Amino acid sequence: MAKPLLVGADRYKLERLKLICEEELCRHMGVHSVAAMLALAEQHCCRVLKEACTRFLSEPGNLKAAMATRDFEQLKTGCHPALMELVMKQYIAATEA
């Protein structure tokens, strides 16, 4: 329910509702949902959600597991290049550690 509500809140500039939706999505983030949430955050300029996704992906094992999902493949093709660069930097840092 939070995703479509966030989209509507962004469309109608309801910033407080948008923030509430971001916070709710952050609480339900997982390996299978993080790519979709990251794309949503990028598309709707959700700073809080984007930072939460980045933190989640920086946890050991999360990035590698997320990269194996179908949503991550879709993220690679439809996402802003700067966002993918950020994710790849996280991946490189995780593999070097």
Model confidence, pTM: 0.83
d(CA 26, CA 51): 9
- Rounded to an integer, what distance in angstroms lies between the CA atom of residue 35 and that of residue 47? 15
Per-residue model confidence (pLDDT) at position 97: 64
Per-residue pLDDT tens listing for the chain (97 residues): 999 999 999 999 999 999 999 999 999 999 999 999 998 998 999 999 999 998 998 888 898 898 888 888 777 777 767 677 777 777 777 777 6
